[in-house]
Amino acid sequence: MDIKIRQASVDDLDAVTAVELACFPAAEAAGRESMEMRLKLFGPSFMVAVNTENDTVIGLINGTVSNADTISDAMYEDIKYDERADYQMIFGLDVMPEYRCRGIAEMLMNAMIKLAWDEGRRGLVLTCKKALIEYYEKFGFANKGVSQSVHGGAQWYDMVLIF
């Protein structure tokens, strides 16, 4: 299978919404309106993985940029994008269940890390559930402990990768 990572566009709205809903519980998933806003605001900070054999979006990574060094719940509701900010936030890293364990999430994460580096950011910030801490540590993220975020009613951990 040949995978291509590219910047997402508004034309991908249906596909990225479907990927998000397949990957997160309803309480945590970004809805169609939120995904549309992200597609319009995030620019290069919204990428998709495409199966080039059938031109299907099978994964995504997206996030805003901010001077904050943690993600707050308010960021999901009042989305702002400051292209001069220090940190690349990651709101979502999703791969369709049937395509997992093939290195696609790693490809997306590496593309986002490269983008943040190329744009002169200080690092990347994300939140994750306890079961994924070790996965993100493989990329160089450090666990900063339990997050103040209660997004979707889940317990999250603040992770940061400083360049």
What are the tens digits of pLDDT across the range 95-146?
999 999 999 999 999 999 999 999 999 999 999 999 999 999 999 999 999 9
The model's confidence at residue 28, banded by pLDDT at 50, 70 and 90, is confident
Six-digit token pair at 47? 């990428």
CB contact at 8 A, 105 and 140:
no
| Cα 157 to Cα 48, 73, 105, 144, distances in angstroms | 24, 13, 19, 7
Question: What is the distance between the alpha carbons of residues 42 and 79, in angstroms, rounded to a whole number?
Answer: 10
Q: Residue 38's pLDDT is what?
A: 94
> Residue 58: pLDDT above 90?
yes
Q: Enter the DSSP assignment of 156.
A: -
Q: What's the average model confidence in pLDDT over 18-46?
A: 93
Q: What's the average model confidence in pLDDT over 38-63?
A: 96
Six-digit token pair at 81? 């994008």
Q: Residue 55's pLDDT is what?
A: 96
Q: What strand order describes the sheet that includes 87-90?
A: 65-66, 87-90, 123-128, 157-162, 142-146
Predicted confidence (pLDDT) per residue in 63-79, tens digit: 999 999 998 877 877 77
Beta strands in 96-147 (DSSP E): 123-128, 142-146
**Pick from 88, 80, 86, 83: nearest CA to 62:** 88
Q: For residue 136, count CB atoms less than 10 angstroms from its CB and return exposed for 0-12, middle for 13-18, buried for 19 or more.
A: buried
The rounded percent of the chain whose pLDDT value lies above 70 is 100
Question: What is the distance between the alpha carbons of residues 99 and 105, in angstroms, rounded to a whole number?
Answer: 10
Q: Residue 5's pLDDT is what?
A: 98
> Residue 32: pLDDT above 80?
yes
**Pick from 109, 115, 118, 111: nearest CA to 141:** 109
Q: What's the average model confidence in pLDDT over 82-102?
A: 94
Q: Residue 157's pLDDT is what?
A: 97
